[in-house]
């Protein structure tokens, strides 16, 4: 299945690939409009020769059919091609028409389109803004197997002629404005594998005869206005592995026979009006991975049989009317993960059964859910004690058991849940003391234990939880005084201990200087200024001598002296207190600077990290104290970071810095990049924000950023280490023994395209693509490194880009030289094009000869013009390459390296084209002709 668009691009590559005008947008003389229109025309089919007046040899396009210009500058302002019966691909050549104000293509699919369809098998109009109706003539195009109209504005009724296309294998009409009923007649499409009508306005019932499509693998009718029940014929869809009826108004029961659809991996019936019980037969769906029954009117309980759905990754049964005992199988799935690990089983990560009416005790075995990150069973009717094996859940990040009837005490074993960030146990019947061991949960930011029956004093060890922000212990029976150490909690933003039996002095300093009285109210024996209740003096008699006195004990003798002494004693106490507060604040600020970010990171992405850790030497004994943040894992350097950066471990150098190799304590190697553009780096805050963003990017074709180290003078980025080295080394290194094969080269090109496409999807421009920045994994999979580093610099100035960073000669897109052009991700596509040529030819982008400079892309383009392009392929391959792949790949490289950014394809298109090139036989068969 191919997209129309990529077919056209491929067509362009094959036919007009050499059209490469010398071009700079700054040049006012050059008439870009002609070129734009000719490129546009090349993508169109013009059965009535309406565009025959469009001749590239003309000096001006202004007399061309359908074209109108502004007479003052002869620039095209209007293009009206209505009724020309054009079809094909609206090329971005149009983007060159900088003065275009009116564009009318009246995009409908011409009725005749399907009348002479010959042996057309695949047709895709996907993702265009086509309007109008699907021509009825489609029914006469009997050879069609794959039809894709998705993501347009097509309206009207379902073209019932489609059901005559007996060979149809896939039909995608999703994301349009189609309405009316889906007609019957589908039952004759024995070959239909994929049917998507999602996000239209279809109403009425699901066709009763849909079960005739017995090889259907994927059925998506979501986001329509369908009503009625699930037709019984669907029982025959036993090959179906993805079924989505989400977001309709379907009613009735979920049929028992659903358990016979044994291949189902995804079942989404959410947001309908299904009622009744969840059928027991679901337990037979042993391939099921995703089950979504959310937002229906289901009653009863989740059947125990589902313990047999051993591949289940996600289950959403929220917003129903389920009740009864919490099904124990939800906890045993995790145990099975042990025996299923070989199947790529990831374990249950989220268990959200909140706000139902589950009762009874929490089954034991929760400790087996080893991947659990979020446990929310709040607002049910559960009783019994908090399971002790909660402490076995090392990934557990959020626990919410609030609003139940748990009793007993908080188990000290909770100390094992080392990733815990939020613990909510409020509104239960918990008694006993708060376990001091909770201090081991060092990531805790929220601790909410209010409305229970907790007794005893607040453990001072809580003061070690320096990440704490929200603490609510109100409405318990806590006694004793508030530990002074709590003032160490410098991230606190709320601390509520109201309505307990606390006594003594409120701590002074830190958050407690500004604590509101409502947070401490209801403790009649607390004293301090906040509660308006002065404390009895508890200071021991000072042993400070009056500095004015000469004798030993004479100072307390007179009234006058006594007064003076008292003054100086209170002054001393005050100064002493101030000093220790100041020291405390400084130390804590430093400490927290390093902890805070790790914490933010956890808050921002609760599930992405398995336990972000933050290491740093104590500020007290290291003057160069810095902050080291690893995004995952419990790793530490085998050696202090500074010592590592010596010549011996250096493995590379680039525009941004020097790269070293080192080992973490656990023995795994990492590459450390020491940024040498220190002086240009943004503030720490922005630096960290960007770096963390990069840290979240995980893709098999991108080098993973594992962490970073920050001091104001030294910044390190910690990357995964790839022992095989860079593409540059493999291509141009001096060992001629291990020449990359054609297969390997193709794989590298495709992989790079995927990596780059992923970056662009994340809105990251690489800016600095070159073969030294592409690392090769032992599996030949390429991984692009150094992405986004430009973002760390204060401004994206052209000078910075071209001089400092984009120093890599030959890869730099021409628009870097034209100040008026906005730099977009197309600059990466250019660099990618050069990389393609470099990989295929084995030559550097710019080679310096005796007294000559050879620019690779000019050289290849020249060879193509002379019809000798095959000679460009790396001679070390000794002719062992597939010319039918190599030549289109070279052409693709040249197109990517087009001078004009808008002529370069998107990376997504590049991937499509590469995949087409990879299987040329299939590709040609399906080419639209």
Ligand X SMILES: *[C@@H]1O[C@H](CO)[C@@H](O)[C@H](O)[C@H]1NC(C)=O
Known binding residues: 674
Contact 463, 489 (CB under 8 A): yes
DSSP 8-state secondary structure symbol assigned to residue 621:
T
Q: Which is nearer to ligand X, 202 or 694 (CB)?
A: 202
Query: Does 244 contact ligand X by CB under 6 A?
Result: no
Helix 883-896 with 4-16: angle, nearest 10 deg: 90
- The residue among 3 and 690 lying less far from ligand X, judged by its C-beta, is 3
- Under 8 Å between Cβ of 31 and 57: no
The contact mask relative to ligand X for 804-843 (x = CB under 6 A, - = no) is ----------------------------------------
Tokens representing residue 626 in the block:
């810095």
Cα separation, 840 vs 740, whole angstroms: 10
Provide the minimum distance between the beta carbon of 677 and ligand X in the complex, in angstroms, as a whole number.
37
301 vs 555, beta carbon nearer ligand X: 301
Asked if residues 415 and 441 have their Cβ atoms less than 8 Å apart, the reply is: yes
Nearer to ligand X, 357 or 817 (CB): 357
Instruction: Give the H/E segment covering residue 614.
Output: strand 613-615
246 contacts ligand X (rule: CB under 6 A): yes
Cβ of residue 287: shortest distance to ligand X, in angstroms? 14
150 sits near ligand X (criterion: CB under 6 A): yes
With binding defined as CB under 6 A, does residue 909 bind ligand X? no
597 or 912: CB nearest ligand X: 912
DSSP H stretches of helix in 362-503: none
Q: Which of 265, 422, 825, 874 binds ligand X (CB under 6 A)?
A: 422
Using DSSP's 3-state secondary structure scheme, residue 282 falls into helix
β-strand 715-720 against 774-776: which pairing, if any? unpaired
Distance CA 527, CA 428 (A): 29
Give min distance, CB of 34 to ligand X, in A. 24
Helices (H), 605-683: 641-644
Task: Name the residue nearer to ligand X (CB basis): 181 or 485.
Answer: 485
Taking the complex as a whole, how short is the minimal distance between the CB of residue 320 and ligand X, in angstroms? Answer: 11
Q: Does 424 bind ligand X (CB under 6 A)?
A: yes
Q: Residues 759 to 778: which contact ligand X by CB under 6 A?
A: none
Using rule CB under 6 A, residue 272 touches ligand X: no
Output 442 or 568, the one with its CB closest to ligand X: 442
- Does 294 bind ligand X (CB under 6 A)? Our answer is yes
Contact 114, 141 (CB under 8 A): yes
Site stretch for ligand X (CB under 6 A), options 73-81, 300-308, 383-391, 562-570:
300-308
- The span from the CA of 897 to the CA of 861, in Å, is 10
Rounded Cα distance, 678 and 681, in Å: 5
Q: Where are the beta strands (DSSP E) in 528-602?
A: none
What is d(CA 813, CA 901) in angstroms, rounded to the nearest whole number? 8
Min dist. Cβ of residue 822 to ligand X (A): 19
Give Cβ neighbours of residue 566 (< 8 Å, ≥ 6 apart): none
> Taking CB under 6 A as the rule, does residue 148 contact ligand X?
yes
Candidate residues 108, 355, 381, 649; the one interacting with ligand X per rule CB under 6 A: 355
How many positions of this chain bind ligand X (CB under 6 A)?
42
State the binding string over 381-400 for ligand X (x if CB under 6 A, else -).
-----------------x-x
Q: Nearer Cβ to ligand X, position 259 or 810?
A: 259
Which span (48-56, 289-297, 449-457, 880-888) binds ligand X, by CB under 6 A? 289-297
In terms of Cα–Cα distance, which of 700, 706, 703 is closest to 664? Answer: 706
Phi and psi of 449, rounded to 5°? -125, 15
**Candidate segments 305-313, 611-619, 856-864, 919-927, binder of ligand X by CB under 6 A:** 305-313
Q: How far is the CB of 735 from ligand X (least distance, A)?
A: 43
Task: Detail the residues annotated as belonging to a binding site for ATP.
Answer: 674
> Does position 295 bind ligand X by CB under 6 A?
yes
| 601: contact with ligand X by CB under 6 A | no
Q: How far is the CB of 624 from ligand X (least distance, A)?
A: 23
Question: DSSP secondary-structure letter at 588?
Answer: H
- Are the beta carbons of 494 and 470 closer than 8 angstroms? yes
User: Of the two residues 381 and 684, which places its CB atom closer to ligand X in the complex?
Assistant: 381
Angstrom distance (rounded) from CA 634 to CA 177 = 52
Least Å from the CB of residue 459 to ligand X: 8
CB atoms within 10 A of CB 847: 13
**CB of 673 or CB of 754, closer to ligand X:** 754
Q: Give residues 115-134 in contact with ligand X (rule: CB under 6 A).
A: 124, 126-129
Q: Which residue, 436 or 593, has its beta carbon nearer to ligand X?
A: 436
Nearer to ligand X, 355 or 546 (CB): 355
Q: Contact between 304 and ligand X (CB under 6 A)?
A: yes
Span near ligand X by CB under 6 A; candidates 103-111, 258-266, 307-315, 760-768: 307-315
CB of 424 to ligand X, least distance (A): 5
Structure tokens at 670: 């990492």
Rounded to a whole number of angstroms, the minimum distance from the CB of residue 200 to ligand X is: 14
- Looking at residues 441 to 500 of the shown chain, list those that interact with ligand X (rule: CB under 6 A): 460-461, 463-464, 485
With binding defined as CB under 6 A, does residue 354 bind ligand X?
yes
Asked if residue 305 binds ligand X (CB under 6 A), the reply is: yes
The answer to whether 833 and 813 are in contact (CB under 8 A) is no
Q: Which pairs count as long-range contacts for 336-339, CB under 8 Å and 24+ apart, including other chains?
A: 336/310, 337/368, 337/370, 337/371
9 sits in which H/E element: helix 4-16
Gap between the Cα atoms of 707 and 766, Å rounded: 19
C-alpha span between 127 and 144 (Å, rounded): 20
Cα 98 from chain centre: 35
Which of these segments, 304-312, 384-392, 591-599, 789-797, binds ligand X (CB under 6 A)?
304-312
Taking the C-alpha atoms of residue 734 and residue 729, their distance in angstroms, rounded to an integer, is 8
Is residue 376 near ligand X by the rule CB under 6 A? yes
Q: How far is CA 490 from the centre of its chain?
A: 32
CB of 148 closer than 8 Å to CB of 123 = yes
**378 contacts ligand X (rule: CB under 6 A):** yes
| SS3 call for 691 | helix
- Of the residues 80, 95, 307, 651, which one makes contact with ligand X according to CB under 6 A: 307
End-to-end CA distance of the chain, in Å? Answer: 16
State which of positions 711-770 bind ligand X (CB under 6 A).
Answer: none
CA distance 285 to 345: 16
Considering only residues 194 through 233, tell me which ones interact with ligand X, judged by CB under 6 A. 194, 196
Residue 169 is a binding residue for ligand X (CB under 6 A): no
Report CA 820 to chain centroid distance, whole Å. Answer: 33
Buried b (16+ CB within 10 A) or exposed e, 667-686: eeebbbbbbebeeebeeeee
Stretch that binds ligand X, among 111-119, 287-295, 486-494, 736-744 (CB under 6 A): 287-295
Among 17, 20, 170, 445, binds ligand X (CB under 6 A): 170
Closer by beta carbon to ligand X, 150 or else 320: 150
Q: Residue 915 interacts with ligand X (CB under 6 A)? A: no
Taking the complex as a whole, the smallest distance from the CB of residue 592 to ligand X amounts, in Å, to: 15
Question: What residue ranges bind ligand X (CB under 6 A)?
Answer: 1, 3, 124, 126-129, 148, 150, 170, 172, 194, 196, 246-247, 270-271, 283, 292, 294-295, 304-305, 307-308, 314, 316, 354-355, 376, 378-379, 398, 400, 422, 424, 439, 460-461, 463-464, 485
């Amino acid at each position: 299945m191919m997209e129309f668009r990529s077919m056209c691009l491929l067509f362009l590559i094959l036919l007009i690939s050499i059209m490469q005008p010398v071009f700079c947008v700054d040049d006012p003389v050059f008439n870009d409009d002609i070129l734009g229109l000719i490129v546009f025309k090349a993508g169109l089919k013009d059965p009535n020769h309406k565009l025959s007046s469009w001749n590239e040899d003309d000096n001006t396009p202004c007399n061309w059919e359908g074209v109108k210009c502004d007479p003052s500058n002869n620039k095209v302002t209007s293009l009206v091609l209505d009724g020309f019966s054009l079809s094909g691909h609206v090329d971005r050549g149009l983007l060159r028409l900088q003065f275009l104000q009116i564009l009318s293509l009246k995009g409908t699919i011409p009725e005749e389109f399907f009348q002479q369809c010959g042996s057309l098998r695949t047709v895709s109009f996907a993702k265009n803004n086509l309007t109008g109706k699907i021509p009825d003539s489609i029914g006469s195009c009997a050879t069609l197997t794959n039809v894709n109209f998705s993501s347009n504005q097509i309206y009207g009724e379902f073209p019932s002629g489609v059901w005559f296309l007996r060979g149809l294998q896939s039909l995608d009409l999703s994301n349009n404005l189609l309405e009316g009923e889906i007609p019957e007649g589908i039952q004759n499409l024995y070959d239909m594998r994929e049917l998507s009508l999602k996000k239209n306005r279809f109403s009425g019932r699901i066709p009763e005869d849909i079960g005739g499509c017995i090889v259907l693998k994927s059925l998506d009718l979501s986001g329509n206005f369908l009503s009625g029940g699930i037709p019984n014929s669907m029982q025959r869809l036993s090959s179906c592995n993805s079924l989505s009826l989400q977001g309709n108004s379907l009613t009735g029961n979920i049929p028992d026979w659903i358990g016979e659809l044994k291949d189902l991996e995804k079942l989404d019936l959410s947001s309908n009006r299904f009622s009744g019980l969840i059928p027991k037969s679901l337990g037979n769906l042993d391939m099921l991975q995703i089950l979504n029954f959310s937002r229906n009117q289901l009653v009863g309980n989740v059947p125990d049989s589902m313990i047999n759905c051993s591949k289940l990754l996600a289950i959403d049964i929220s917003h129903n009317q389920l009740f009864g005992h919490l099904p124990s199988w939800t906890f045993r799935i995790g145990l099975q993960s042990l025996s299923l690990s070989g199947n790529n089983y990831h374990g249950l990560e989220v268990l959200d059964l909140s706000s139902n009416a589950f009762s009874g005790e929490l089954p034991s075995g929760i400790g087996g859910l080893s991947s659990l990150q979020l446990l929310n069973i709040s607002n049910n009717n559960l009783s019994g004690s908090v399971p002790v094996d909660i402490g076995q859940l090392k990934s557990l990040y959020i626990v919410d058991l609030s609003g139940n009837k748990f009793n007993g005490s908080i188990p000290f074993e909770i100390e094992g849940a080392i990733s815990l960030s939020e613990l909510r146990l409020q509104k239960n019947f918990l008694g006993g003391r708060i376990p001091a061991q909770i201090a081991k949960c060092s990531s805790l930011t929220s601790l909410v234990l209010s409305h229970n029956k907790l007794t005893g004093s607040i453990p001072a060890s809580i003061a070690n939880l320096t990440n704490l922000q929200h603490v609510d212990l109100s409405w318990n029976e806590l006694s004793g005084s508030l530990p002074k150490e709590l003032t160490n909690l410098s991230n606190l933003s709320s601390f509520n201990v109201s309505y307990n039996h606390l006594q003594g002095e409120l701590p002074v300093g830190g958050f407690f200087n500004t604590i509101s009285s409502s947070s401490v109210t209801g403790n009649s024996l607390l004293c301090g200024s906040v509660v308006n209740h002065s404390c009895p003096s508890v200071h021991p008699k000072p042993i400070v001598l009056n500095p004015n006195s000469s004798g030993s004990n004479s100072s307390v003798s007179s009234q006058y002296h006594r007064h003076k002494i008292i003054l100086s004693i209170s002054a001393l106490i005050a100064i002493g207190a101030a000093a220790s507060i100041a020291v405390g604040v400084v130390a804590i600020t430093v400490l927290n600077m390093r902890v805070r970010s790790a914490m933010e990171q956890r808050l921002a992405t609760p599930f992405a990290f398995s336990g972000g850790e933050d290491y740093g030497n104590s500020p007290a004994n290291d003057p160069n104290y810095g902050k080291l943040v690893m995004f995952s894992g419990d790793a530490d350097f085998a050696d202090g970071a500074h010592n590592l950066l010596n010549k011996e471990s250096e493995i590379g150098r680039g525009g941004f810095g020097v790269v070293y190799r080192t080992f973490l304590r656990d023995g795994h190697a990492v590459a450390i990049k020491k940024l040498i553009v220190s002086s240009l780096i943004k503030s720490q805050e922005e630096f960290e924000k960007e770096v963390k963003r990069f840290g979240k990017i995980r893709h098999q074709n991108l080098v993973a950023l594992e962490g970073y180290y920050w001091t104001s003078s030294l910044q390190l980025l910690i990357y995964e280490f790839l022992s095989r080295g860079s593409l540059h080394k493999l291509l141009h290194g001096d060992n001629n023994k291990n020449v990359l094969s054609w297969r390997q080269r193709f794989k590298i090109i495709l992989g790079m395209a995927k990596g780059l496409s992923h970056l662009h999807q994340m809105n990251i421009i690489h800016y600095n693509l070159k073969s030294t920045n592409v690392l090769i994994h032992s599996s030949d999979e390429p991984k692009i490194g150094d992405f986004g580093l430009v973002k760390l610099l204060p401004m994206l100035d052209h000078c910075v880009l071209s001089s400092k960073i984009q120093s890599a000669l030959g890869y730099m897109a021409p628009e870097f030289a034209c100040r008026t052009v906005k730099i977009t991700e197309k600059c990466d596509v250019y660099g990618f094009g050069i990389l393609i040529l470099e990989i295929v030819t084995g030559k550097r982008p710019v080679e310096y000869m005796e007294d000559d400079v050879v620019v690779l892309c000019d050289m290849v383009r020249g060879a193509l013009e002379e019809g000798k392009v095959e000679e460009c392929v790396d001679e070390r391959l000794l002719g062992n390459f597939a010319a039918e792949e190599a030549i289109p790949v070279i052409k693709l490289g040249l197109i990517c390296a087009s001078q004009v950014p808008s002529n370069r394809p998107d990376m997504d298109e590049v991937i499509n084209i590469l995949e087409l090139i990879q299987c040329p036989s299939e590709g040609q068969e399906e080419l639209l002709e």
